[in-house]
Amino acid sequence: MSTLVKARIEVNGTVREVEIEPRTLLADVLREKCSSKGTHIGCEHGVCGACTVLLDGEPVRSCLTLAVQADGRSVETVESLAEPDGSLNELQSAFHRHHGLQCGYCTPGILMSLTALFRTAGSPSEGEIRDFLQGHICRCTGYQQMIEAALEVSEHAESEHAEAEPAGTEHAGTGQ
Amino acid sequence: MIGQPLPRTEDLRLLRGLGQFVDDIDLPGVAHLAAVRSPHPHARIVSISADEARKMPGVLGVYAAADIEPINGIWPVHLPHKGLRAAVERILPTDKARYVGEPVAFVVAENRYQAEDAAGQVEVDYEPLPGSGTWQRSLELGEAIHPGNPDNVAAHVVQRTGDVEASLREAPHTLRETYEIRRGGGHSMEGRAVAARYDPSLGTFTVWDATQTPHGARRMYATCYGLPEERFRVIAPADVGGGFGPKAQRYPEEMVIPWLARELGRPVKFIEDRYEHFLTCTMEHPQEHVVDIAFDDDGVILGLKDVFYSDMGAYGTSLIVPTIAGCTVPGPYRIPNLHIEFTAVFTNKVPQSAVRGAGRPQGVYVMERTIDRIADYLGLDPAEVRFRNLIQPDQFPYAVGLTFRDGSPLTYDSGDYPELLRKGLELIDYDKQRELRAERRAAGVYRGIGISVALEGVGLGPFEGATVRLETTGRATVILGAPPQGQGFQTTYAQICATYLGLDVDQIDVVTGDTAMIPYGTGTFASRVMANAGPALATAAGEVKAKLLESAAALLEAAPEDLEVSNGQVRVRGMAEGVAITEVAQASNVGRPGISMVKDMVPGLTASAYFNPERAGYSSSAQVCVVEVDAETGEVEIVEWVAGHDCGKIINPLLVEGQVLGGIAHGLSNALYEEALYEEDGTPLTVSYLDYPIPSAHEMPWIKLYSQETPSPLNPLGVKGAGEAGTLCVPAVIASAVEDALRPLGVRIRECPLSPAFIGDLVDEAKHRPDASE
Amino acid sequence: MKPQGFEYHAPQSVKEAVELLGELGPDAKILAGGQSLIPLLNLRLAAPEHLIDIGRIGELRERRRENGTLRLGAATRHAELLSEPEIGDGCPLLPLAARYIGHPQIRTRGTMGGSLSHADPSAELPAVAVALDATMVIRSVRGERRVPAGDFFVSFLSTGLAEDELLVAIEFPVTGPRAGSAFGEVAARAGDFAMAGAAAVVRVGEDDRVTDARVVCTSVGDKPVRVPAAEEALRGRTADDAVLAEVEAAVAGQLDPGPQLKVSAGYKRRTAAVLARRAVRQSWRIASERTA
């Protein structure tokens, strides 16, 4: 057996310390040791996107990330999205109303990617939304209803922004 | 409630990542299974040595065929068909491996990483044999994949009606064409998954199985283990990540897991990964159809003969896919003389099973391409040729003259196909599209219009059941044997129960897929559940309501027919006061110990009902699309797409749209993207998504949906099925549009899928033909 | 599947990294973004005994532009190629091609150095590096050496890197004014491996005639293929239809790809030539300011 490594990973605001074989994937650590069963594994080669989480705010494949690479970093998973009282956030609520999910297996990854998109792009267009979802496969829905859900959130953000004071808008960089 | 587009109650847990898929279920002490899998498509298994593997860290056991002998008997044929020659299938093969990935031994370890490490150390001595990756090669292989089938033919089936030879002889026109359609796997985002625990105190097994058919699994366990069915509780969890057909089959890992749990005294689970899904999860294999069509000057079809080959993979427990494909060919058209003949052939690939569409897309492809060919030959509009041949709304029930997979004569129950097509043409503005096409062609753009109409047999028997219980809390529980994999049963069946019982939708809990909760069930596949479980539930709910009213009548000293249910109460119509449902339930379900019930009170507000349809019903769909093809690169852009469905009475239109859209995406993947590739000997070449494209939201165009409802006369709810509706038209409509787009180049589309490379090569060939125009 | 076991090392500096490489060489693989390597590990197609994670080495993420050269650390992420104005202004071809690399979620982690060292013949960046006349900066315990991109790619998944060498930076001559770049590829889906692709950079003089050009195709052999005959066909001329037809013919004439799964050799050759023609046309139009 190889030398174990330690990793200190902040998951949804809580710091977890794990000692694992270095080959252990972040997806497995999240599921097995961080009570985040919501992160699903669909392919283990980085194409289906079901395992997508936010690493320091950026969407990554947790199946293509060794847990040890997340040492000292913060991870956000689908369990972090709901409001503090447990109710659905705006994106989740839109998915619910538009029937943007069926079996729900690919959904957590898609929600995390869209969460990252909305943080950087405020009110993305349909094309931008579809581009960002290139990296996700859903076999159940055909995507159209989830695009409607995302567009609703986007349009709402746009109208909110139009009403607000014209202050400068920060766009978080995607560097690092 | 029926007919309302209610958002789903399932979403509340799924959106928060709180779903409970098999791999999420907490089973303390659970051990993990990995398999030792054949690297050869066809090889004798000479010996297996597990000595090194057993010593590896974390290993709890290594099991070859000899080690599981008590449960390793031959499996019964799934759907016996008098034409099917027997094929052997056991949990682990004792003689040879017949496809790459077939398990030859199992390893159980503390975690999956260690189980895979150990599996890599099991030494298997193989003697490779000639293998076959195509039905053509199998017929000439000279090596029997199964003993007793020296030519590797699994079955040969012929169905006829009328006199097709005469029609071909006498018709003014005949054409012959060959079509090859290659579909792929299910690729549910959750792979197969099964976990089991043994309780020695009860001698029972509890199995969590991401299956579409829990009662079928239980039956197979009983058969393999030689134990009564009651010893097995099989639960398809409320959350299963897609099914699409392959999860309705039985698998070696599924069958061995409970036994291992008993052997090891610990829960054991198998979570299929994507690589295993590619190699070992059943799928549809290629079909090649040679079609002869007889028609007159008006394009009216006089006779059709289809002789086709169906690649079965390495084992053939049923003939569903080719049988359905053959029965689907005539589709919505009047064809008096038919001859449908197929030969099912074994190959050294994973066994074939139905995948969303179940052979129907192939049948639709054949028929729709043929109609387009007739139109092209006669210089008629393809929509017009369809109208001239479509079955008319006053011709139901319409007997095709063939026998369907359910053993009954193929008979269409209801529909209005001409109207469905007409609506689609109107929605896309067919005349305007023809003008646009002419304009774009003049500008050198390859633009085309495609049309397809398809029927889907739904609501197959034998039966499905439902139990309804009105609880003392005032809530109702619905228990269904058929489990969901994302279709929203928890919501739609609550809607049906609410309608027939008189409660609100949010007071109803739906429990599914647990063999301990309902004794008999067939399962979720072939778009059958709504047309079976829906009527069963309506009956059961109606019976419970009647009992509720009788018991309430006893308490209120009124007549049941004067009572109504609303707002958690039962009261006399028009009166304000009544009795709370909770009170009636308490009195009926519990009573007071030792004390007689009030006169006329009914004990137990519960009922079960099973519904068995006389035969399958038929949903219909029609699609029209417009594409532009980049003739230099072969890339296809979909410019417009309208898709219509008629699924009978609709319980929840929001969810039905989801089913249709999802089906369309799957069909589009078959039409332009996914293809399973193999070497000549059956070695798979596509084993990951890096080589097997499934469209994302980026590839999907916007689809305009429309619908109509012609209720089914086969059940009191008038419901049909919608799970596969979207898929069936797609490979045909895309082929139709692409061929139309490339008509100036004389390109003919006879295959599926149409990748850019395939189209690019066809265009290049056409340009270099001696008779090429321009 | 799950990876086989390995020993894990996380050097904090380039010096430490190359020392480790020097020691472990053939038994080690470099982990940069992991987007190419970890799928191989997960499928057990690669099973190195040691993994050297260079993700914490700050020097590898640096970038600077000076004296007409844009120097990017090997750990520059694909996403940065798209988002950092400094990069897009210096070498527009980089963001134009980066759009085609995988998916957004891959681009957050995948690195330029990783992609170049992996040298998959259907990747975008190797062809781009050749088209931009990039120089690979390589270090080992034996010191530093510099290799032109045109010489760096040897064969299928194989570069000029020795077992103990690490790619630390890539230097690009800034593209400059009166130049245009374009990239195109055909893939089964957006982000998938290209079936054929082409990169073009075209420079023009005052009279819009081409002074210099680069035409490089990807996914048509075991490494990027530059087509000097196509570049020659452009020199001193404007990219009108007749010249573009010559460019296409030159590319089709030189390429000799093999088939790949069901993509025929003929398709790759013809399509790469078409994409090259389109990329050259687009580049020339940008260079001569004929586009908005």
> Cβ distance B479 to B467 under 8 Å?
yes
Minimal CA separation from B333 to chain C, in Å = 35
Interface contacts (B, C; CB < 8 Å): 73
Residues of B in contact with A80 (CB under 8 A): none
Residues of B in contact with A129 (CB under 8 A): 697
Interface contacts (A, B; CB < 8 Å): 179
Mean pLDDT on C137-144? 96
Q: What is the pLDDT of residue B79?
A: 66
What tens digit of pLDDT does each residue of C75-113 get?
999 999 999 999 999 999 999 999 999 999 999 999 999
Report chain C's mean pLDDT, rounded to a whole number. 96
Residues of B in contact with C192 (CB under 8 A): 690, 693
Give the Cα separation of C128 and C70 in Å (integer). Answer: 14
Q: What is the pLDDT of residue B407?
A: 75
Mean pLDDT on B276-288? 97
Residue B6 DSSP class: P
Question: Could you give phi then psi for residue B78, rounded to 5 degrees?
Answer: -60, -55
> Cβ distance A142 to B663 under 8 Å?
yes
Q: Could you please state the CATH topology (level 3) that the domain comprising C58-173 is classified under.
A: 3.30.465
Q: Residue A170: which pLDDT band, with cuts at 50, 70 and 90?
A: very low
Q: What is the CA radius of gyration of chain A?
A: 17
Mean pLDDT on B535-554? 95
Say yes or no: C186 contacts chain B, CB-CB below 8 A: yes
Poorest-pLDDT segment among B90-94, B236-240, B591-595, B705-709: B591-595
User: With 80 as the cut, is the pLDDT of residue B219 above it?
Assistant: yes
Select from B290, B322, B346 the least CA-distant residue to B135. B346
Contact state of C195 with B695 under an 8 Å Cβ cutoff: no
Q: What is the pLDDT of residue A169?
A: 43
Question: Could you give phi then psi for residue B258, rounded to 5 degrees?
Answer: -60, -40
Report chain A's mean pLDDT, rounded to a whole number. 92
Poorest-pLDDT segment among B112-116, B245-249, C286-290: C286-290
User: With 80 as the cut, is the pLDDT of residue B87 above it?
Assistant: no
User: With 60 as the cut, is the pLDDT of residue B619 above it?
Assistant: yes
Residue-wise burial string across B92-118, b where 16 or more C-beta atoms lie within 10 A, e elsewhere:
bbeebbbbbbbbbbbbbbbbbbbbbbb
User: With 50 as the cut, is the pLDDT of residue A176 above it?
Assistant: no
Residues of C in contact with B757 (CB under 8 A): 195, 262-264, 267
Contact state of B658 with A82 under an 8 Å Cβ cutoff: no
Contact state of C189 with B275 under an 8 Å Cβ cutoff: no
What strands, in cross-sheet order, belong to the sheet with C28-31?
C7-9, C50-53, C28-31
What tens digit of pLDDT does each residue of A48-95 get?
999 999 999 999 999 999 999 999 999 999 999 999 898 999 999 999
Mean pLDDT on B48-55? 96
Mean pLDDT on B456-470? 91
Residues of B in contact with A79 (CB under 8 A): 16-18
What tens digit of pLDDT does each residue of B161-185 get?
999 999 999 999 999 999 999 999 9
Q: What is the pLDDT of residue B77?
A: 76
Find, in chain C, the residue whose alpha carbon is nearest to that of B764.
C267
User: With 70 as the cut, is the pLDDT of residue B771 above it?
Assistant: no
Say yes or no: C264 contacts chain B, CB-CB below 8 A: yes
Contact state of C275 with B764 under an 8 Å Cβ cutoff: no
What tens digit of pLDDT does each residue of B345-371 get?
999 999 999 999 999 999 999 999 999
Most confident range (mean pLDDT) of B374-378, B408-412, B553-557, C286-290 is: B374-378
What tens digit of pLDDT does each residue of B30-50 get?
999 999 999 999 999 999 999
Mean pLDDT on A135-146? 98
> Cβ distance B71 to B224 under 8 Å?
yes
Give the Cα separation of C217 and A30 in Å (integer). Answer: 41
Say yes or no: B671 contacts chain A, CB-CB below 8 A: no
Minimal CA separation from A175 to chain C, in Å = 5
**What are the residues of chain A with a beta carbon less than 8 Å away from any beta carbon of chain C?**
1-3, 5, 21-23, 25, 28, 44-46, 49, 52, 55, 58-61, 63-66, 68-69, 113, 131-132, 134-135, 173-176
Of the candidates A1, A49, A113, which has its C-beta nearest C5's C-beta? A1
Contact state of B14 with A107 under an 8 Å Cβ cutoff: yes
Domains present along chain A, CATH in parentheses: 5-80 (3.10.20.30), 90-163 (1.10.150.120)
Query: Which of C7, C41, C103, C120 best tests the A interface by mutation, with the highest count of A CBs <10 A?
Result: C103
Residue B507: partners with Cβ closer than 8 Å, 6 or more residues away: B474, B475, B476, B498, B568
Minimal CA separation from A33 to chain C, in Å = 17
Domains present along chain B, CATH in parentheses: 11-129+186-280 (3.90.1170.50), 358-457+615-767 (3.30.365.10), 464-611 (3.30.365.10)
Q: Which chains border C (3 or more CB–CB pairs < 8 Å)?
A: A, B
Structural domain spans, chain C: 7-53, 58-173, 179-286
Q: What is the pLDDT of residue B86?
A: 64
User: With 80 as the cut, is the pLDDT of residue B553 above it?
Assistant: yes
User: With 80 as the cut, is the pLDDT of residue A163 above it?
Assistant: no
Mean pLDDT on B299-323? 93
Mean pLDDT on B652-679? 97
Q: Which chains border B (3 or more CB–CB pairs < 8 Å)?
A: A, C
Q: Could you please state the CATH topology (level 3) that the domain comprising C7-53 is classified under.
A: 3.30.43
Residues of B numbered 444-473 whose beta carbons fall under 8 angstroms of chain A's beta carbons: which are they?
none
Residues of A in contact with C54 (CB under 8 A): none
Contact state of B697 with A107 under an 8 Å Cβ cutoff: no
Supply the angle between the helices B320-328 and B360-378 in degrees, to the nearest 10.
Answer: 30
User: With 80 as the cut, is the pLDDT of residue A1 above it?
Assistant: no
Q: What is the pLDDT of residue A167?
A: 53
Residue B627 DSSP class: E
Minimal CA separation from A20 to chain B, in Å = 12
Distances (CA, A) of A166 to A147, A155, A161, A162, A163: 28, 17, 8, 8, 9
Report chain B's mean pLDDT, rounded to a whole number. 95
> Cβ distance B738 to B629 under 8 Å?
yes
Minimal CA separation from A119 to chain B, in Å = 19
What tens digit of pLDDT does each residue of B379-409 get?
999 999 999 999 999 999 999 999 877 778 8
Supply the angle between the helices B417-428 and B430-442 in degrees, to the nearest 10.
Answer: 50
Mean pLDDT on A12-41? 96
Mean pLDDT on C117-125? 95
Give the Cα separation of C254 and B60 in Å (integer). Answer: 59
Q: Which helix (H) or strand (E) holds B454?
A: strand B446-458
Q: Residue B461: which pLDDT band, with cuts at 50, 70 and 90?
A: confident
Of the candidates A41, A99, A130, which has its C-beta nearest B697's C-beta? A130
Q: Residue B598: which pLDDT band, with cuts at 50, 70 and 90?
A: confident
> Cβ distance B247 to B21 under 8 Å?
no
Q: Is B217 helix (H, G, I), strand (E, B) or coil?
A: helix
Mean pLDDT on C199-226? 97
Mean pLDDT on B509-515? 97
User: With 50 as the cut, is the pLDDT of residue B89 above it?
Assistant: yes
What tens digit of pLDDT does each residue of B698-746 get?
999 999 999 999 998 888 888 888 888 899 999 999 999 999 999 999 9
Residues of B numbered 139-198 whose beta carbons fall under 8 angstroms of chain A's beta carbons: which are they?
186-190
Q: Does the domain made of C179-286 have the CATH classification 3.30.390.50?
A: yes
User: With 50 as the cut, is the pLDDT of residue B242 above it?
Assistant: yes
